[in-house]
Amino acid sequence: MQADYVIVGAGSAGCAIAYRLSEAGEKVLVIEHGGTDAGPLIQMPAALSYPMNMGLYDWGYKTLPEPHLGGRSLVTPRGKVVGGSSSINGMVYVRGHAGDYDHWEESGATGWGYADVLPYFKRMESWHDCDQGGDPDWRGKDGPLHITRGPRDNPLHDAFVESGRQAGYPVTSDYNGEQQEGFGPMEMTVWKGVRWSAANAYLKPALKRDNCEMIRGLARKVVIENGRAVGVEIERGGKVEVIRAEKEVILSASSLNSPKLLLLSGIGPAQDLAKHGIDVVADRPGVGKNLQDHLELYLQVASKQPITLYKYWNLIGKGMIGAQWLFTKKGLGASNQFESAAFIRSKEGVKYPDIQYHFLPIAVRYDGQAAAEGHGFQAHVGPMRSPSRGEVTLASSDPKDAPNILFNYMAHEEDWEDFRKCIRLTREIFAQEAFKPFVKHEIQPGDAVQSDEELNAFIKEHAESAYHPCGTCMMGAKDDPMAVVDPECRVIGVDGLRVADSSIFPRITNGNLNGPSIMTGEKAADHILGKTMLPPANDVPWFNPDWKTSQR
């Protein structure tokens, strides 16, 4: 078994790389441990809470007890299925803010500034729904990844955006266009009523070519000879074998599994490797470090009017939605229900948004449990740029063992201040005139929870991961001791090996990470092929002109 390029992981970035390399005529082999993505639980957008909670599709990872969250261990779902996490995620599409990528470049990821990455976002997108407003000139028209908007026909979506306006925030017709800041419609990777995962967008078309194939197996380590990656050792059907790579090995196994594979292959902090009896190939202290995520809470409000999705939250209702979707790919089953969003700044002096909202016209938890009150709605809210950093380390030298994951959430006083601010700003939005016909009372945290101490106790107990882990194989300058890959995604200190997925992000981007992960795969593919990069864009993004002096 061999190919020009061996890619580990059929996830968001890996699928894009397989598509672009095979398009260029290279022989590509993708290794994926997970099974098929066929079936309504994955392909039906409204069923999103199911695959995320199923061992069949998820690696089942959990954090070590988080010291600042009362020792809670949080689940960290990652897709163990064709399409990776793009097959189990919430399908929300956010590019991130221009300021995020300019920060990457300033951190040593040369050539990854906003002007450099915007052409790749445009190349990957097929953007629809121009009739709802938006910035067509900023968007891609004929890429593999279809991006749509929900129908937004529940009156609560308009109430959310109008309340933001009444509270003094801007309204934006396209947070993925010129202006991220403000309230407006949310976008999703859904096409013709079906989850448009990286597998549907990229991998399935690539596998139709003669020069691209996928095999199922557990990657055990990268095989390195004389300082060069020459293949991947995998286990399948109880046998261990080596898949040879004529040109390069590319790890796109996620921000949790890519560092784990590097460590198992002898690339990482020498003292950590020694603990597990692993010979050091390259002493890279940054492998597994710099782990970041978004934490979020949801504020739930009981609704005066029975207009929320709760009326379908029963066997008959769910059955009817499922049947309509199966036969027509239309109706409530065809949306992830995240149809309105906002990005705002927490205070004056913050240059671009550092708080994100997902609005949902039902009060329900990620595990699918509806609020006891029945009809309600909720806003998911959280800070975007926490200063806290965690790490991924090996639990043992056995490739079958899950890695140790510690995000070290809420390690800074600033984290607590930011979260309290999120709750208070959200309450102010729900108190606007536009919500008056709908707001009955606050379910969670509840009106009694007001002081800093009470809010901190609520945050400690209820903050949840938004499932945006990244940063563990940081991209940076070759002389940066904490950098793992250079700006061409090449692992520093080993030839013929690259990492391309969310693990290479120097700092977490604003919003959901699926879009930036796919963009990373698109841009990495051009680096791998030695192509000239797409010419930088001249588009000038919007920053609030009063950001130094006002919060809104």
Binding-site positions for FAD: 81, 89-92
Q: Write the DSSP string, 14-65.
A: HHHHHHHHHHTT--EEEEE-SB---SHHHHSGGGTTTGGG-TTTB---BPPP
Phi, psi angle pair for 27, to nearest 5°: -85, 120
Q: Residue 488 is encoded by which pair of tokens?
A: 């061409």
Distances (CA, A) of 314 to 45, 318, 338, 372, 427: 18, 6, 20, 13, 29
Furthest CA-CA distance within the chain: 70
Has 468 been annotated as catalytic?
Answer: yes
Phi, psi angle pair for 207, to nearest 5°: -70, -15
Q: Which is it for strands 2-8 and 28-32: parallel, antiparallel or unpaired?
A: parallel
Which 8-state DSSP code applies to residue 196? -
Q: CA-to-CA distance for 102 and 439, rounded, in angstroms? A: 40
Segment (H or E) for 519: helix 514-528
Distances (CA, A) of 135 to 37, 177, 186, 314: 33, 5, 14, 39
Contacts of 58 (CB under 8 A, 6+ apart): 51, 52, 77, 78, 79, 80, 88
- Rounded to 5°, the CA angle 488-491-492 comes to 100
Q: Write the DSSP string, 208-241.
A: TSTTEEEEE-EEEEEEEETTEEEEEEEEETTEEE
Q: Residue 142 is encoded by which pair of tokens?
A: 């004929």
Going 278 to 281 to 285 to 287, the CA torsion angle's sign is: negative
Which residues line the annotated binding site? Answer: 81, 89-92
Q: Which residue among the candidates 276, 294, 468, 527 is catalytic per the annotation?
A: 468
Q: CA-to-CA distance for 10 and 79, rounded, in angstroms? A: 10
Report the catalytic residues. Answer: 468
